Amino acid sequence: MSAATEVTYLEAISDGLRQEMRRDPSVLCIGEDIGAFGGAFKVTDGFIEEFGAGRVMDAPLAENAIIGAAVGAAAEGLRPVCEMQFADFISCGFDQLVNVAAKMHYRQGLAVPMVVRLPSGGGFSGGPFHSQNPEAWFLQSPGLKVVAPATAADAKGLLTAAIRDPNPVCYLEHKGLYRYVKGEVPAGEHEVALGEARLAREGGELSVITYGSGVHLALEAAADLDEDIEVLDLRSLCPLDTEAILASARKTGKVLVAHEATQSCGVGAEVAALVAAEAFEDLDGPVRRLTAPDVPIPFSPPLEQAVLPQLDDMKEACRELLAY
């Protein structure tokens, strides 16, 4: 087993990408300012010096062209990793992603092994065009896989698995976790299977089912409240680990589904529906949700904090459900 080193979430993403590019010459990167500049958040800093401009390609300001070029490259046997500077900008490449990449295998039997890196989430006063959590957009597109790591180890492991997967994968990396989260990460190759949730904290009275930034809020709330709270980190949103979700719900009998994305038609809605349909007899209370309201993310810091779930919101939601 490789030795582990403590690194940030951002460093883990960079390390995972670099490891795969060294291991497999078919892996390449394409995106805006990812070469000499090293990417908007410096994930690809130093890559062009190591791998050259042929594998670290600076693209024009055209997300549709970036995704489209990646689809063609993947269909020809390469493994492109696209970087969107902000997840919000994927809307400009939506047609190529959901109408071409997601359907190629079904329509033509072609594998499309490509990854779209999506720096997502708020908490830094980026305003409504740089702070979205767009995961629900992709869950309605059969043919796409969607992952959202919460820890540094999973950031590396899930990216490795996404690059090696024969399907197009949307990889949501939360900007608020880039330098805030640190953890032990294997120094060599490290892969985390897609579709498997992680039990982040074991408990018996309440299950908080969450992912991404919500995991850290839930863990902090559970520690502050000193209650027997279980925290299930979904990690993979499609495929979804339904067995782990139902096992946790049946074990505790109370379920809080939490995420930073807006409420309507999101991951929380799917998890709540699954629990209500398959574990209703085991519940001791209603399935509750903690999400952002269905509004754009404000630019103003106080307004952004009012919109996005905060630690006090998580603690209050847990208290209410525990007392039900």
Active-site annotation holder among 130, 190, 216, 259: 130
Query: For residues 152 and 40, what is the distance between their CA atoms, to the nearest angstrom?
Result: 19
The residue to which tokens 């919109």 are assigned: 307
CA angle 119, 120, 125 (to 5 degrees): 110
Neighbours of 99 (CB within 10 A): 10
User: Can 130 be counted among the known catalytic residues?
Assistant: yes
Question: Are the C-beta atoms of 46 and 191 separated by less than 8 Å?
Answer: no
**In angstroms, what CA-CA distances link 181 with 4, 48, 95, 151, 153?**
16, 26, 33, 7, 10
The residue to which tokens 């990812």 are assigned: 34
The residue to which tokens 């699954």 are assigned: 274
Query: For residues 170 and 124, what is the distance between their CA atoms, to the nearest angstrom?
Result: 22
| Residue spans of beta strands (DSSP E) within the chain | 4-8, 27-31, 56-58, 79-83, 115-120, 145-147, 169-174, 182-186, 198-201, 206-210, 229-233, 236-238, 255-262, 288-292
The counts of H helices and E strands in the chain are 12, 14
Neighbours of 153 (CB within 10 A): 20
Question: Are the C-beta atoms of 318 and 217 separated by less than 8 Å?
Answer: no
At residue 292, φ and ψ (nearest 5 deg) are -80, 150
DSSP state of 297: P
Neighbours of 251 (CB within 10 A): 15
Three-state SS for 96?
A: helix
Active-site residues, by number, are 130
